[in-house]
Amino acid sequence: MDDRDYLPLSWLSQVDYCPRRAALLLNERIWAENADTAKGRSEHSRVHDARVERRGNQLKLYEYTVFSDAMQVWGKCDCIEAQRWELGCSIKAADFPVRLYPIEYKHGSVREERSYMIQLCAQAMCLEEMFSTEIPCGALFFISAHRRMEVEFTDQLRSDVTARAMVLWKLWETHSIPPAEYGAKCRRCSIQEYCMPKVKTSAGEYCRRLAKEAMEVEPL
């Protein structure tokens, strides 16, 4: 797998949350920190450390790289619990077959965020493809609340993941920026200043249009 030819798996959740936000991150490399993103980054930094912990018949794999040739995405799982199971798959870290259970860390209170589920399910689909196994569910662990919420990987959720991957690749290949659709989620978005959701075009699009118009002006 060459990660230069793959897109970040985490951006599937960005596409689900807001296609315009995903396109600005992807095509214009725009990013800004706010209180929510800073807190989330701080909490993640405490758990992001690639390592393997083993206790009896269970292993915990942290910061585990995953990828999918089918969706052409790659990323890292915050944690994968690998429990001994005779009908499971084989992984290098274990000398016995295991059942895989991905866990994604999030900050804030426990809540059913569809974009979080998209990201977690995408990780599971990558693992299924990599190890020829089946993963029926995983979990979101909310760090601040110290609580886990199990997520079932239904056919609908899997279909949504595939659809988001197709949208992400289309945004990348066409270098397009979808029009803004102002809503409640815009008020807490860290890149609202750059997105300008109440304006029809982004600053980048406006500058490109001006540059194009300037090139089309005939010299005197």
DSSP sequence for 116-142: HHHHHHHHHHHHHHHHT----EEEEEE
Please write the tens of the pLDDT for every residue from 61-71. Answer: 999 999 999 99
How far is the C-alpha of 120 from the C-alpha of 64, rounded, in Å? 13
Return the percentage of the chain with pLDDT > 70, whole number: 77
Q: Which CATH architecture has domain 3-179?
A: Alpha-Beta Complex (3.90)
Give the pLDDT score at 7.
93
Return the axis-axis angle of helices 155-174 and 114-131, rounded to nearest 10°: 90
pLDDT confidence of residue 203: 55
For 186-219, the pLDDT digits (tens) are 777 777 666 777 675 555 555 665 566 566 655 5
- Region of 113 (left: φ > 0; alpha: ψ -120 to 50; beta: rest) is beta
What is the average per-residue pLDDT within 40-49? 51
The pLDDT assigned to 177 comes to 87
Length of the chain measured in residues: 220
Q: Which amino acid makes up residue 19?
A: P
Taking only the tens place, the pLDDT of each residue in 13-41 is 999 988 888 888 888 776 543 334 334 44
What's residue 43's pLDDT?
Answer: 46
Residue 118 confidence (pLDDT): 97
Beta-ladder partners of 54? 59
Return d(Cα 9, Cα 68) in angstroms, integer: 9
More confident residue, 116 or 28: 116
Quote the pLDDT of residue 87.
95
DSSP assignment letter at 185: G
Q: Is the pLDDT of residue 156 over 60?
A: yes
